[in-house]
Amino acid sequence: DMKVTQMPRYLIKRMGENVLLECGQDMSHETMYWYRQDPGLGLQLIYISYDVDSNSEGDIPKGYRVSRKKREHFSLILDSAKTNQTSVYFCASRSGTGGYEQYFGPGTRLTVL
């Protein structure tokens, strides 16, 4: 059963705290993504990872960094979170060998107070 998991599902942090969002997939997909979703703005791409330690900025990378040390695991890190980073964050994965479909996780709702 192909699956993308995200932890935690809900998180409340104070401004200035560090945030770690975790994503896992069991499909051995090479490519993984982090998006944020805000009302009316659709899905905005933060980072793409093409494989272990091969990451590229997306459209809105400022204030975020990522880590991919294992193919099945992709982390999003917010160093010193800001209130405007309150959002729902989605991780997705996709096979690099010709498959086009992206599989999304259930999302993490982050609130920064």
Partner 1 sequence: QQQVRQSSQSLTVWEGETAILNCSYENSAFDYFPWYQQFPGEGPALLIAIRSVSDKKEDGRFTIFFNKREKNLSLHIKDSQPGDSATYFCAAMSSNNRIFFGDGTQLVVKP
- Residues found near partner 1 in the complex (CB under 8 A): 4, 31, 40-43, 45, 48, 50, 90, 92, 94, 96, 100-102, 104-107
* Residue 92 or 110 having the CB closest to partner 1: 92
* Residue 51 or 79 having the CB closest to partner 1: 51
What is the Cα 82 distance to its own chain's centre?
A: 17
Smallest distance from partner 1 to CB 79, Å = 25
Smallest distance from partner 1 to CB 69, Å = 20
CA distance 86 to 53: 27
Q: Quickly list H helices, the chain.
A: none
* Residue 17 or 93 having the CB closest to partner 1: 93
End-to-end Cα separation, the chain, in angstroms: 37
DSSP 3-state assignment of 50?
strand
* Residue in the block written with tokens 């994503």: 23
